[in-house]
Amino acid sequence: MRIQIQRGAWLALVLPVLALAASTAQQERAAVVASNPDQAHGAELFGQCIACHGADGGGEMNGTTPRIAGQHFRVLAKQLVDFRYGKRWDSRMEGMADRHHLAAAQDIADVASYVSNLTQSRQGGVGSGEFADEGGRIFEAQCQSCHGVRAEGTEEGVPRLAGQHYGYLVRQIYDAVDGRRPALSRQHAKRMAGFDFEQVHALSDYLARIGWHNEEVGAPGGGSTR
């Protein structure tokens, strides 16, 4: 009985804090979307991101950091807010999204807008290609209805997956299934939890081979796993 009471007391203390954080994050995200982005200021702020994401926003071919160039504005804005409020976990990005680096909602809007307008300027990392056709079938059956026929996402906030680095996609699928992407819907995690090893790599390889602005395919990306 004591354990039950202690758990109840703990939940009574924690749940309001979590609810407040979620509410604050939603308010800031709304403020970002309502802002009028300043591209020039966004370019200045992006200088803080170049060390990891590259001057072109192309990330790393092995998937250590994602390609962010050309990603939809609302997607980028949401991820930055999620990192700021602990709704997405990555020690590097949590630090870069704090108020020391991005002081206000306007800063998030500025840098997100700048990045969304960068174009894919170099090839990305892909897998072996052995299971890419199977990945296409998985995508059509499981993902296409939301992410679009060419995995292009939407301006309303559905992520563009096409052309993302293979290694990064593999890692994010495992992170989602293992609960390391708390802001991702349960529907996503539940759907991907049924994928076996080959299916995870097949889907990731297929998506990596869809060019954002062309159909070119980069060199193998090194097959990152968990």
* Helix 166-177 / helix 197-208 crossing angle, nearest 10 deg: 140
pLDDT digits (tens, 9 = 90+) for 140-173: 999 999 999 999 999 999 999 999 999 999 999 9
How many structural domains compose the chain? Answer: 2
Q: How far apart are the C-alpha atoms of 72 and 109, rounded to whole Å?
A: 12
Lowest-pLDDT range, 9-18, 19-28, 199-208?
A: 9-18
Per residue in 42-74, pLDDT (tens digit) is: 999 999 999 999 999 999 999 999 999 999 999
Gyration radius of the chain's alpha carbons: 19
pLDDT at 146 (0 to 100): 94
Query: 92 with 149, same domain?
Result: no
Same domain assignment for residues 89 and 141: no
Give me the chain's average pLDDT, please. Answer: 86
Position 8 scores a pLDDT of 53
Q: Which helix (H) or strand (E) holds 5?
A: helix 2-34
Same domain, 111 and 172: no
Q: Can you tell me the distance from the alpha carbon of 165 to that of 167, in angstroms, rounded to the nearest whole number?
A: 6
What is the domain extent for residue 15? Answer: 2-116
Residue 25 vs residue 121, higher pLDDT:
25
Task: Give yes or no: residues 99 and 30 share one domain.
Answer: yes
Assign 9 a pLDDT band (cuts: 50, 70, 90). low
pTM: 0.84
- Dist CA 159 CA 151 (whole Å): 8
Comparing 69-73, 134-138, 151-155, 179-183, the range with the smallest average pLDDT is 179-183
Query: What pLDDT is recorded for position 2?
Result: 44
Question: In the structure, what pLDDT confidence band is assigned to residue 12 with cuts at 50, 70 and 90?
Answer: low
Which pLDDT score is estimated for 215? 45
State the Cα angle at 27 between 25 and 29, rounded to 5°.
70
Q: Tell me, what CATH number does 144's domain have?
A: 1.10.760.10
pLDDT at 5: 46
Q: What is the pLDDT of residue 186?
A: 84
45 φ, ψ to 5°? -65, -35
- Same-domain status, 137 and 106: no
